[in-house]
Structure 1
Amino acid sequence: MTVSTAIARLNAADPDFARHLDHLLSWESVSDDAVNQRVLDIIKAVRERGDAALVEFTQRFDGVDAKSIGDLILNRERLELALTRITPAQREALEKAANRVRMYHERQKQDSWQYTEADGTVLGQKVTPLDRAGLYVPGGKASYPSSVLMNAIPAKVAGVAEVVMVVPTPRGEVNELVLAAACIAGVDRVFTVGGAQAVAALAYGTASVPQVDKIVGPGNIYVATAKRHVFGQVGIDMIAGPSEILVVCDGQTDPDWIAMDLFSQAEHDEDAQAILVSPDASFLDRVAASIDKLLPTMERAEIIEKSINGRGALIQVRDMQQAMEVANRIAPEHLELSVADPQAWLPHIRHAGAIFMGRHTSEALGDYCAGPNHVLPTSGTARFSSPLGVYDFQKRSSIIFCSEQGASELGHTASVLARGESLTAHARSAEYRILTQEKGN
């Protein structure tokens, strides 16, 4: 197998740099009209025929010989069996990663709060977990036990009573690591269905699959399109694009390390994006040489090659300050600050899903076991979005209790504003609570 790279080289000093960067970053979903219509048809079928449609689609799309919905349900005992089928080293790694993810997310928990004003009025916020969350997990070759941990554990930490997992098993292929991860993470129910039909089942419910309040987890274009269509009926985490990594380096890190960090995202799929930014032109040359040297040694070399050649780049900047500006412009999913003093540059970063600090902190550690969530905003959405967390599985209700005196005082203000909006019933509702002696003043 022959592989070679022709990674793009950009220079921030070029007059056309902004245009070239925009072109590099652009990514459009392949959800065309045909995909969209197929997804709508699948959702309609699941809503109308429930479990029967799930069995039919699983037979057709996944090649699973299922006679009834019962063949697509895995009980808790089956998950526990998976723990015995994986190697001791795998189980230890899953349990260690799960513990670290759980400890980190415990710190995100929000509590209800209240305060009382001088007149006895009480204001506050009540924090309540969702009743039920749905977790979509890719199946077959794209099996990610780490995603099970990252999606299920925050839900359980938040206090979600029931986590329902759907995972396709193409041609009956069951990934024991995924099931073991579900067991360790506390998943309550598992259905071996996937695609748009699984999303529809979670959103609307069937006789067997319970309706959930929110659907989280990655999937292919059919899954992403289905999540778009059911949003509003249920909550969703995000519509994720291809994986991304941006490495900002001062030129002092081993170029082989940087090349492999770029590969770590490029190997996900051909549309993944890996970018290196540095003020050191000779360092960019050394990393390019490392890319060519190391690529033939990779198991997924063809995927990496297409990713690097299609969407990768080595960007030269004037200095580290300009590197920060470029990083904020890109707003990457993963940002590595591979520099001597990352803490000094951290205040300059405004937009990034996760920030990996220093030369020894590879992005891969965050994918598996560092602790913070690896479900991150992509395609520049880090400008306004955050990593998945406990807060995604909690909702907040406002608390308002007015004392007699407080209702009377607030009534004056509400009355003026309501009448200014010509909403007389609002005004009179508030005015009824104004104390008699105050009305006479």
Structure 2
Amino acid sequence: MFYQLYELNHAAMAPLRASTEAMRFFYSNPLNPLSQTPLGRSVSASLEVFERATRRYGKPEFGLPTTTVDGHTVKVTEKVVWSKPFCNLLHFERALPASRVPDPRILIVAPMSGHYATLLRGTVEALMQGADVYITDWQDARNVPITEGTFDLDDYIDYVIEMLHHLGPDTHVVAVCQPSVPVLAAVAVMDAANDPFVPSSMTLMGGPIDTRINPTAVNQLAQDRPLKWFKDNVIMTVPWPLAGFMRPVYPGFLQLSGFMSMNLDRHLIAHKEFYEHLVKNDGESAEKHRDFYDEYLAVMDLTAEFYLQTVDTVFIKHALPKGEMMHRTNPVDTKAIKNVALLTIEGENDDISGVGQTHAAQTICSSIPAEMRMHYVQPDVGHYGVFNGSRFRREIAPRILSFTREHSKALRKNAPPRVIKGGKSG
């Protein structure tokens, strides 16, 4: 019933939001003399803060029409090249000369943890300057009809394998946060089966490979409660008239409340400062706030079976690092990975996946030769900074591109050496 009440409340607020927008337009219109006064700007700012606080944020767009390659601006076309009910595979096709030596092909596996794949816009933007980039665009479960069936962690692994098959050999896979576990499992399954489409390299960034190491508040929450608690308290059914009517989900609005409660004081301060920027007519600072929260507040539902299986496998049982994880009826043997280069990346101040949790992949993938592995800790960044921001662009992205080039079968002879200046590499 809680989900139904949430939808009812949102619908009931629609007339108030509409009137608020009309009043904001009146007080901010340049033709209105009040818009140039402190009073007018204060009223307009208050109305905008209210409207944004009660709005439902839709799925953002990537909005990456161009990129810079070899010092030149080139056109980028976003295409869906593979599709299933719960995911589309997007390709950022760059308009490059046919005679140019191809860049490494990278599959970015975006988190399926509440936010849309567009949260990795900065990741895509940085990497496609030196790589042919694809990304998983996971679908909002509330928009997937129940007739399409279920989607759990095993299905997630199958999707990753199918996408790697679609892209072909000599692909490099990059997993950001949550998908580190299913991507590592998929690669283990493929290498154990001598799959010719096993990726050439695997990069795991800020992922919960072993949450027993340096546990964070998020890890502790899952560890302190039985699986039944999560099933009873966070799983709800999608209400009518949404396309996913009757599908059991972990709703996005519940996830968002959890995200914001972890740093509630920071979000309250940010909104207070947003109001002050509007009153002072500081348009640039206000626009930065809008851009960030348009992305941060856009959330999606997860299927109940995927969420519960992930919590149980990754955070309660620690099945992967213990060597007990199963993919359907087959064991996931990380020691079977021998032909895939491994790069693990962590943020020094990560409060979601603590330092050491991603590095654990280096331990459990013991059959990978030493010359095919690398670990890097980025100083002075938290979880978000591992895959976005100025330090990512300046220090992390070049390492990923260098690593993929070094271990690309087609480009290996011409690959530059690994970048190891700055930070902590191993």
User: What TM-score do the two structures reach when normalised by structure 2?
Assistant: 0.29
